[in-house]
């Protein structure tokens, strides 16, 4: 077993990692850190929650501290580009935690807030800048930011950059970077567009580190699908969230309007809930996240894009109030639970119009999702619709669970994906994605 003390990181960084209670790196950290310390470009295929923030933060801190250069005004030595404000804040917190004993200047910039404080920070020069593309490009166009001193460039969540329409901004930023630099690109999936982007950024001899294969699901997550009529979804959701086993849940919808509507319905039913999506102000989103993290909100209702950057331990349940129309989104969604060695439960509410989505998910993950038909709102008509493939025969050997409280465990656990065994003493051993 690899230990952090064996990776060659400088003592101040090792001390900061040890102070967080971490002793062994996660697979992505153990695989990526030696390549990055050696100066290689790295292509990382891994989801949020696998510890990828520390995988690039630790070697960046090590490199910048060792070189002892000074950042020029309006410039930065390391640039981390990430799609959402929430993820930018979390990455910034990771650098602050692991870099507490090294004298490096760092900051985070994003849109939705006034730019003057960001302009002042940039004016003095930075060692490390974490930024979202739109705000960084605005500051560059105004002459407040320069990229000619960047030594290390990280493109995080590349597939989400594409999904959110940031690819043109990313390409504009890439065009302003110096040719000589170290590059790291992370993506949870590797569609053709991301592969093309990676080919234009990374050296041909870059190291590829793939920890979680696309379209696999986590072994510590118990998954169930509940067939239900659309009109009964709200009542079933309320019943689930009132279950004793549900202490902190993320509820997924496909649209921003749907997230607002579900959160309002839950509040009227006496369940503490809030919504998070791109149309909310930065302050409102941060307040919702803090309330959720601190336990004042039991259910956070989110869209796929808004939830991508959420990395909060202790999420017991993910509930797909609406199934996603892209199988990869299902994998990202359920990965919000079962972190840091804990178990988790993922429940999907499937109505007649979503049966095709469910089948697509099962084809992509190469395993059936067990059915819970023991709840009060089970829709046999939807179940029959699912059981009629094009050939007319029902699928054989489909796992079924039933009876008992659907918020508790009891069904089979699919194998494969990230996770690994939890420490016997319950202590944390890996820096998860901060």
**Per-residue confidence band for 214, with pLDDT thresholds at 50, 70 and 90:** very low
pLDDT, residue 82, reads: 93
pLDDT, residue 336, reads: 82
Q: Which of 242, 237, 309 is nearest to 80 (CA)?
A: 309
* Residues 28/434, Cβ–Cβ less than 8 Å: no
- CA 55 to chain CA centroid, Å, is 15
* Residues 332/215, Cβ–Cβ less than 8 Å: no
Among the residue ranges 157-166, 209-218, 229-238, 330-339, the one predicted with the least confidence is: 209-218
The stretch 211-226 carries a mean pLDDT of: 72
The stretch 243-268 carries a mean pLDDT of: 92
Quote the CA–CA distance of 7 and 37 in Å, as a whole number.
9
**Per-residue confidence band for 396, with pLDDT thresholds at 50, 70 and 90:** very low
Query: Could you give the dihedral angle defined by the CA atoms of residues 360, 362, 366 and 369, in that order, rounded to the nearest 10 degrees?
Result: 170
- pLDDT of residue 107 exceeding 80: yes
* Residues 309/48, Cβ–Cβ less than 8 Å: yes
pLDDT in tens, 295-329: 999 999 998 766 666 777 789 999 999 998 877 77
Quote the CA–CA distance of 417 and 131 in Å, as a whole number.
30
Q: Which of 174, 225, 222, 165 is nearest to 198 (CA)?
A: 174
Quote the CA–CA distance of 29 and 22 in Å, as a whole number.
12
Quote the CA–CA distance of 149 and 139 in Å, as a whole number.
16
pLDDT, residue 333, reads: 86
Q: Which of 280, 304, 33 is nearest to 188 (CA)?
A: 304
The stretch 49-53 carries a mean pLDDT of: 79
pLDDT, residue 432, reads: 46
Distances (CA, A) of 100 to 105, 320, 379, 432: 11, 39, 55, 18
**Higher pLDDT among residues 264 and 52, named by residue:** 264
pLDDT, residue 330, reads: 87
Among the residue ranges 37-41, 168-172, 363-367, the one predicted with the least confidence is: 363-367
pLDDT, residue 397, reads: 41
pLDDT, residue 389, reads: 63
For residue 168, what are the contacts with CB-CB under 8 A and spacing of at least 6? Answer: none
Look up residue 255 and give its two tokens.
């649209």
**Per-residue confidence band for 409, with pLDDT thresholds at 50, 70 and 90:** very low
- pLDDT of residue 50 exceeding 90: no
Cα-based angle 275, 118, 92 (whole degrees, multiple of 5): 60
pLDDT in tens, 237-248: 999 999 878 989
Percent of all residues in the chain with a pLDDT value above 90, rounded to a whole number:
55
**Higher pLDDT among residues 415 and 72, named by residue:** 72
pLDDT, residue 240, reads: 95
Q: Which of 244, 251, 247, 272 is nearest to 404 (CA)?
A: 244
Percent of all residues in the chain with a pLDDT value above 70, rounded to a whole number:
85
Quote the CA–CA distance of 8 and 323 in Å, as a whole number.
44
**Higher pLDDT among residues 232 and 366, named by residue:** 232
* Residues 334/217, Cβ–Cβ less than 8 Å: yes
Cα-based angle 121, 126, 130 (whole degrees, multiple of 5): 85
- DSSP of 325-357: SSHHHHHHHHTTSS-TT--EEEEEEE-GGGHHH
pLDDT, residue 281, reads: 77
- pLDDT of residue 433 exceeding 60: no
- pLDDT of residue 427 exceeding 80: no
pLDDT, residue 106, reads: 96
pLDDT in tens, 73-103: 999 999 999 988 878 888 998 999 999 999 9
The stretch 256-261 carries a mean pLDDT of: 91
- DSSP of 281-321: -HHHHHHHHHHHHHTS-SEEEE-HHHHTT---TT--EEEES
- Return the axis-axis angle of helices 85-98 and 282-294, rounded to nearest 10°: 60
**Per-residue confidence band for 406, with pLDDT thresholds at 50, 70 and 90:** very low
Ordered by where they begin, the domains of the chain are: 4-210 (3.40.50.300), 221-401 (3.40.50.300)
Q: Which of 228, 181, 193 is nearest to 78 (CA)?
A: 181
pLDDT, residue 280, reads: 78
pLDDT in tens, 329-355: 788 888 888 776 678 899 999 999 999
Q: Which of 369, 337, 366 is nearest to 354 (CA)?
A: 369
pLDDT in tens, 164-184: 788 899 999 999 999 999 999
pTM of this structure: 0.60
CB burial readout 344-375, b (16+ within 10 A) else e: bbbbbbbbbebbebbebbbebbebbbbbbbeb
Query: Could you give the dihedral angle defined by the CA atoms of residues 180, 186, 191 and 192, in that order, rounded to the nearest 10 degrees?
Result: 0
């Amino acid at each position: 077993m690899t230990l952090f003390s064996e990776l060659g990181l400088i003592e101040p960084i090792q001390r900061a990692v040890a102070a967080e209670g971490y002793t062994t790196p996660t697979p992505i950290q153990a695989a990526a850190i030696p390549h990055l310390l050696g100066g290689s470009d790295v292509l990382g295929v891994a989801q949020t929650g696998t510890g990828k923030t520390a995988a690039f933060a630790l070697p960046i801190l090590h490199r910048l501290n060792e070189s002892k250069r000074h950042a020029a005004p309006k410039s930065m030595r390391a640039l981390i580009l990430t799609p959402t404000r929430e993820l930018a804040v979390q990455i910034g917190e990771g650098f602050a935690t692991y870099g507490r004993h090294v004298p490096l200047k760092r900051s985070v910039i994003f849109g939705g807030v006034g730019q003057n404080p960001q302009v002042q920070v940039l004016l003095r020069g930075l060692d490390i800048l974490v930024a979202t593309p739109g705000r960084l490009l605005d500051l560059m166009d105004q002459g407040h930011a320069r990229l000619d001193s960047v030594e290390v460039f990280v493109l995080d969540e590349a597939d989400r950059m594409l999904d959110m329409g940031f690819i043109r901004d990313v390409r504009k930023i890439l065009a302003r970077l110096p040719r000589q630099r170290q590059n790291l690109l992370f993506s949870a999936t590797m569609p053709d567009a991301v592969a093309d982007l990676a080919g234009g950024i990374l050296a041909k001899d870059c190291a590829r580190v793939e920890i979680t294969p696309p379209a696999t699901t986590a072994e510590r997550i118990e998954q169930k699908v509940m067939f239900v009529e659309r009109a009964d979804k709200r009542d079933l959701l309320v019943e689930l969230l009132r279950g004793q086993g549900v202490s902190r849940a993320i509820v997924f919808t496909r649209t921003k309007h749907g997230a607002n509507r579900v959160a309002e319905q839950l509040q009227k039913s006496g369940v503490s809930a809030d919504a998070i999506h791109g149309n909310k102000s930065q302050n409102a989103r941060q307040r919702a996240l803090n309330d959720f993290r601190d336990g004042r909100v039991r259910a956070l209702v989110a869209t796929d894009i808004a939830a991508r950057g959420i990395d909060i331990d202790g999420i017991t349940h993910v509930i797909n109030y609406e199934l996603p129309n892209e199988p990869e989104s299902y994998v990202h969604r359920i990965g919000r639970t079962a972190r840091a060695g804990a178990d988790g439960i993922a429940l999907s509410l499937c109505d007649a119009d979503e049966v095709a989505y469910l089948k697509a998910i099962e084809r992509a993950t190469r395993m059936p999702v067990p059915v819970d038909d023991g709840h009060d709102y089970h829709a046999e008509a939807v179940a029959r619709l699912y059981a009629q493939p094009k050939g007319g025969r029902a699928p054989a050997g489909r796992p079924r669970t039933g009876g008992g409280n659907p918020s508790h465990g009891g069904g089979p656990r699919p194998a494969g994906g990230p996770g690994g065994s939890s420490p016997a003493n319950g202590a944390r051993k890996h820096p998860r994605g901060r």
